[in-house]
Amino acid sequence: MSTLLQCLETQDPTALTRLLGQQPHLTNSPVLDGEQTVHPIHALCERVFDGRLSEIQGLAFANVLISEGADLDAVHPRNGDSLLISAISLSCPAIAHRLLDKGANPDPRGVFGATALHWAAIMGLPDLVQRLIDHGVYIFLRDREYQGTPLGWAVQGRIDPPPGARGGHIECANVLMSAGLQPESAWRSSESILADAPLRDALLGRQSA
């Protein structure tokens, strides 16, 4: 285990501050975490996701790394996800907001050709969905793997929530539709949507009841 990962295990951000003060190059040096080599911010997001760190602790570590010059747009070497996408997909919205606060690019595509907006939608994070829209991201972009819009990802997240999802999928759908996205015509015959009254009403209106 790297010295930086040992700092994360202490659950004490001051230990990381001391380490980076002595070895600042570690701020952006990939760490071997399990079977993958990742940016330190990705590694701490993994620890929030699996419960080794609380979200508050994760944000404190992220603040240290960011203050020491972390590359906010570092890309995962295996799947191409930006740190922003990693934070969102690993259910770390506070870290995602902080990355945006500090100027992370909200536009890049990662795994599946999906953007941060797709991931915020499928994770049920309406505040992030709204913030990304306010940043001016292109809401009509379809991912490359499933050809889904962010609205489609919100629907999928409601029907089959991914691990760590926060449950705000209908709110995400409402935000996206207010911004201009429209339900797919095929959804009017989708058994999964028709069987979910709140989702059906949000997407199709009560005339489908």
Q: Judge contact between 176 and 121, C-beta under 8 A.
A: yes
What confidence tier does 72 reach under pLDDT thresholds 50, 70, 90?
very high
Report CA Rg, the chain. Answer: 18
Give me the phi and psi of 32, to 5 degrees please.
-85, 110
CA–CA distance, 203 with 177 (Å, rounded to integer): 9
pLDDT score recorded for residue 206: 47
**Can you give the residue ranges of every domain in the chain?**
1-105, 111-209
* Region 177-198 average pLDDT: 96
What confidence tier does 185 reach under pLDDT thresholds 50, 70, 90?
very high
What confidence tier does 34 reach under pLDDT thresholds 50, 70, 90?
confident
CA–CA distance, 66 with 74 (Å, rounded to integer): 12
| The pLDDT of residue 54 is above 90 | yes
Q: Could you report the per-residue pLDDT of 75-115, keeping only the tens digit for each?
A: 998 899 999 999 999 999 999 999 999 999 999 999 999 99
Topology agreement, domain 1-105 and domain 111-209 = yes
Check whether domain 1-105 has CATH 3.40.640.10, yes or no: no
pLDDT score recorded for residue 5: 94
CA–CA distance, 202 with 151 (Å, rounded to integer): 12
Read off the amino acid at residue 159. Answer: I
CA–CA distance, 99 with 95 (Å, rounded to integer): 6
Architecture of domain 111-209: Alpha Horseshoe (1.25)
